């Protein structure tokens, strides 16, 4: 697995955990850590997580390298 695949997977996991905390506890971990949903750093994190999710779609369609 390439390093960019691992980074994308890690960011997707972080994003899913954040969404889980929002759904279960109404608590946005990213916003809490980086200063609110409108903070520039939070928006950068949200954008990176979104791009990582798009990259992970490509993992579904790749042939396996054994």
Does the structure show a pLDDT above 80 at 61? yes
What does the pLDDT look like over 10-32, one tens digit per residue? 999 999 999 999 999 999 999 99
Which CA distances in Å does 23 have to 18, 26, 29, 36, 56? 9, 6, 12, 17, 22
Determine the number of helices (DSSP H) and then strands (DSSP E) in the chain: 3, 0
Rounded to whole angstroms, the Cα distance separating 48 from 66 reads 29
Reported confidence tier of residue 64, pLDDT bands at 50, 70, 90: confident
First-to-last alpha carbon distance for the chain, in angstroms, is 10
Does the structure show a pLDDT above 70 at 66? no
Mean pLDDT of 1-12: 93
pLDDT score at 29: 95
**At 18, which helix (H) or strand (E)?**
helix 3-25
pTM: 0.84
């Amino acid at each position: 697995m390439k390093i960019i695949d691992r980074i994308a997977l890690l960011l997707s996991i972080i994003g899913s955990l954040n969404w889980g905390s929002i759904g279960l506890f109404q608590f946005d971990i990213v916003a809490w850590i980086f200063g609110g949903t409108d903070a520039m750093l939070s928006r950068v994190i949200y954008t990176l997580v979104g791009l990582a999710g798009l990259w992970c779609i490509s993992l579904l369609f790749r042939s396996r390298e054994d």
